Amino acid sequence: MAEPTKIRAQVTGDVVEVKALMNHPMETGQRQDPKTGQKVPVHFIQTVTCTLNGKTVLDAQMSQAISKNPFLGFKIKGGKVGDKVVITWVDNKGDKRSDEVAVTAAG
């Protein structure tokens, strides 16, 4: 059900800048459904793991205070064109999604 994560990884010198846009409602559990008046249950991404060529570079834990369709930007030193970036997320219902992209040259 989860839509793919859009990832862009570009290298300048030896620093790879990764920008990822995950697709997730990120419900806080505080919002009411306008039709039923019931609270919409919490549903959000809890952990995001990013790897470069199989090595973990960023291990993030999130709360429901991250905006809907989370954006995540980070930088890795020591990457080159063709390296593989994989981003995996897991939400509080156990849903997960993993997407990968190859590093490209900037500009």
Partner 1 sequence: MNQLRRALLKGSGAAGALAVAAAAGLLRPSQVLASEWNKTGFDAKTAEDALKSIGASATSNSNDIVIKAPDIAENGAVVPIEVTSKIPGTQSIALVADKNPFPLVATFNMSNGAEGYVSVRIKMGQSSNVRAVVNAGGKHYAATKEVKVTIGGCGG
Site map for partner 1, 11-50, x if CB under 8 A? ----x---x--------x-xxx-------------xxxx-
Binding residue count for partner 1, defined by CB under 8 A:
37
List the one residue out of 2, 1, 62 whose CA is nearest residue 28: 62
Tokens of residue 98, six digits? 């993993």
Of the residues 13, 61, 94, 107, which one makes contact with partner 1 according to CB under 8 A: 61
Of the residues 7, 79, 97, 103, which one makes contact with partner 1 according to CB under 8 A: 79
By CB under 8 A, tell whether 52 contacts partner 1: yes
Pick 7 or 76: Cβ nearer partner 1: 76
Choices 2-10, 72-80, 98-106; region in contact with partner 1 by CB under 8 A: 72-80
Distances (CA, A) of 45 to 37, 66, 80, 94, 102: 24, 9, 29, 9, 24
**Cβ 91 vs Cβ 5: under 8 Å:** no
List the one residue out of 12, 11, 106, 107 whose CA is nearest residue 53: 11
104-105 and 71-77 beta bridge pairing: unpaired
Contact positions toward partner 1, by CB under 8 A? Answer: 15, 19, 28, 30-32, 46-49, 52, 54-68, 70-79, 90
